Structure 1
Amino acid sequence: MAHRVADLYCTIETALRASYRRVVLCQTASGDRFWLKRVEHFAPHLWLVKGCPKVAFARDRTSHRYLWNNGVPVPRILAEGSDFIAVEDAGLSLTRFCGDLSRGLFKKQTACRAAGRALARLHASDLAHGRPAFRDMCWDGQQIRFIDFEYFKPTKAGRLRKARDLSIALLSALSQGQLGLRYASSLLSGYWAVRGKWAVANTAPACQIHTGL
């Protein structure tokens, strides 16, 4: 265990010395994969649009810890510093997974249903992700885990925030090309299975997608 921890920190130090990249997938000498996230660099005039990058990074990290401590499926934090955080690899984002031509439709729909169930469980805890697009939900073949929490608020989420979550997830599914409607249908059916017909009807009344595809 000590050897693997040493490998982790050695890999982090190497990545931090390399050319700047805000997010990079790293692998230790022991074969462990993790993501290294750093404070975003952009021109000062963009602060008016995106806000202070250090504040955004701190909010993302604090939200990540909060969700982990409350049992929400998020990647485990492996290490962190003043301007970086290292988290375990949670698999492919749904964007990449559904865009992989080597994977069958059944596996992709299974992942989307799992995403719907995970989102419904999050909402059942009266929390909302803030922006659960396909790129912010990762699938490792067993479970969905959420990432990127710059829009998360650690307060009780009402119907509007949950509806916004579900709408973003469904719109993201629909944007995945010709099979987008099937992905959206699978996601909604997974959400429906956890929250029930009444919850879906009252949480997102505008999302009337037929789930019989």
Structure 2
Amino acid sequence: MGKTVRFFLCCALLLSGCISGEQKVFVYPRIGIGEKIYLSTVSIDGEYTKKDSCLILESGKMISFNLPEENQLYALTSDFNSYFVVFINDKGDKIIHADYFSRHYSISGSAATKSLIHFQRLQNELEKRRRLAAEKKEDQHAMELAEKKRKYYINYADTVENIKAFLIVNDELNFGQDTRAFEKFMERAKLRFKGNPEFDQIYQRSLVYLQSQKEHPE
């Protein structure tokens, strides 16, 4: 579902295609000279739509893009390689240092993105430990780690305040047959995100699912 994106910027005075907007992202890309950095919006379904681009005249030199849509998921990509940076445009300007050679980046100015990155790193570490336990035939320990990972997804989605961060992890949630827990979870989420079109759609689907479970319990 959701993927990780990176980006950097060109001097606005040299670009004719920059988008006007209140917020900006300032990118310091380490990448080959002559390459292009693309700014795209990313839908929750993983569809990329290019919005702007910048030609890199000097590796490591700051470039910038305007970000007209708040709480939008953006991605920075290039033709240089398959590496990409994904970030959420919550309030305020962003600064991204992106190294397309070592495939590493850091971001400041986006609490939602930093929260999501931290969470995903914890989950990745849990998954590594689970796989190692499985390889060692430590089945009980592997099952415990899988359950811990499942609960972490729910706890994160249950507490995160940014709608995009919530939507990114939503598809990973697994309540099993505990429809009552799922119902309570969705009601709590409704208190935070009601009125957001993407959440409202998910919420309506959850009502249909819960009703079907009541009518035809497994």
TM-score for both structures, normalised by structure 2: 0.30
| More helix, by proportion | 1
